[in-house]
Structure 1
């Protein structure tokens, strides 16, 4: 294991933090531009087009800049074990279990927070999704979103943090992934899924694994609920599938915990290095501010 140069490592982690800040900043500036164009009458777009244009600023503009900012950070090699359908199926069941338990906890705490604050409980994300066409939900939530988020949180963050070990890298990237969702109801399952997606990335050695899993999770958790016909037995079976897969996922997770493979990095893990920089601190503060804004908004 290399002798850790804390000053150099702190600069690397600061760049990763600034990459997150840059991503959030690009999204905010782009959204303000769209709002100004809409108010001035120069952008005559409905909610669907506005949502698609927002995705352009949030992902397609910010990601190349974030990667360019972090281009000098060392990237440790990964062991390429390849994707196996059996593993993808296993991780999918575990992921659905994590989503179910995490969403139950997140929703309960979110409702409690609203009550304490004297506010009316609201699910802004679901309300927005219900007003969008299915094709737009499929493109945004099930294709572009998972692809770009995996490039950012696993391909950029977790991969570079793996120099401190894959387990600390998974933990930190999952924490930032959960915070970046900017609402309490999604934090817990996003954090749990972030751990699973990072493990799938490190274990297989290819970003395709977490991308495919993320797409499957979003399709199962959001898109599928909108396409099932209401006057049929399918919605009931879909609702029952969550606790069934939840129990199965817990069994698989406990059964396979001793077979987990986490590789060590060349540098000693140090949370003081990872979080002891202005970039990372500011990124976390921004996440908390966005969460508070969503709560009060």
Structure 2
């Protein structure tokens, strides 16, 4: 095992953290494939239920948030924690969940909102009555998005990142974990442009989140950024088709939200300045924040290893 200087990898007896168990990238890829398969089955069941029952509006919101996000991602977090404890003797603290997680997350909620400011401005430009109309949709999205973001961070930056760094060292471990996070966001039937956008953006997010986790020693900040990114993006997706309209319902919001996942980017849309502003600018701002605050950790992760002088002669 590589000695990295990061407690979440090397272990910390005072915090009850056992050293990470090294695992090959192929094994970690299998973990991701299994999780993807289970989630895909769950989503198919939800879609079938929605179709057969004709659920709409508040019913669809509840079904989507519980069936798509809360149950499957809650199960992912709990299963990851249980397997980590049973197989590696690494509990919540080793996965980056400790007393420092909540207070460590708070300032990064604000940082996430700053980074997401271009999208927030886009949301604010919509119909002035959207807040009251979409209140129930926002309430349905908030807990579901928090559970989804937390579960993905526990799985990728809590479990897989530590395994890969223990096996390959900090630089390669961070890069491989980010590649797996990008692979996690590959969807069936995606166009080449969609595939490129999704994998590229989530790869960069995976790098910055991993750096932040190593910098903080827990996953609080990463969960905060991930939550803000997903929540603001989901709200924007649900409101996209109603700019300037005064009369629309929560049913319309959920139809638009659902349709946004089945819509492929076109080259013209991607090259539109407004699209790039809301799509790429938040990721750029977040990356700059991470680089500015975590620059010492970035150097520790990516600086070339120094060989010790040979004093045996």
Partners of 1:23 and 1:62 within 8 A in 2: yes
Which of the numbers 149, 170, 173 marks the counterpart of 2:174?
A: 170
C-alpha change, 1:163 and 1:203, in structure 2 (3 Å) is: same
**Counterpart for residue 163 of structure 2:** 160
For these two proteins, the number of residue pairs brought into alignment is 223
1: distance between equivalents of 2:287 and 2:37? 38
**Stretches of structure 1 lacking an aligned partner (at least 5 in a row):** 101-129, 269-297
Task: Give the equivalent residue in structure 1 for 2:152.
Answer: 149
Pairwise CA distance, 1:37: 5.2
Contact map agreement 2:70 2:148 (CA 8 A) in 1:
no
Instruction: Assess if the C-alpha contact under 8 Å between 2:42 and 2:68 holds in 1.
Output: yes
Evaluate the alpha carbon distance shift between residue 44 and residue 20 of structure 1 in structure 2; reply closer, same or farther with a 3 A threshold: same
Task: Give TM-score scaled by structure 2 length.
Answer: 0.52
Alignment of 1:69-218 (within 5 A): 69-70=83-84, 71-73=86-88, 88=108, 92=112, 133-140=137-144, 142-164=145-167, 165-183=169-187, 184=195, 185-218=197-230
The DSSP-based 3-state class of the residue aligned with 2:87 is coil
Greater relative contact order (Cα < 8 A, sep 6+): 1
Query: Which residue of 1 is the match for residue 32 of structure 2?
Result: 20
Given that 1:178 and 1:187 are in contact with CA atoms closer than 8 Å, whether structure 2 keeps it comes out as yes
Query: Structure 1 residues 64 and 255, CA, compared in 2 at 3 Å: closer, same or farther?
Result: closer
2:63 pairs with 1:50? yes
TM-score (norm 1): 0.54
Query: Is the partner of 2:186 in helix, strand or coil?
Result: coil
- Could you say if the C-alpha distance between residues 258 and 147 of structure 1 is closer, same or farther in structure 2, counting changes exceeding 3 Å? closer
Deviation at 1:69, TM superposition (A): 4.2
The Cα offsets for residues 114-134 of structure 1, whole Å up to 9 and x where unpaired, read as xxxxxxxxxxxxxxxx9x933
Q: In structure 2, what is the Cα distance between the partners aligned to 1:239 and 1:214? A: 19
Task: Show CA shifts across 1:241-292 (max 9, x none).
Answer: 888777766766676785334657xxx9xxxxxxxxxxxxxxxxxxxxxxxx
1:59 correspondence with 2:73:
yes
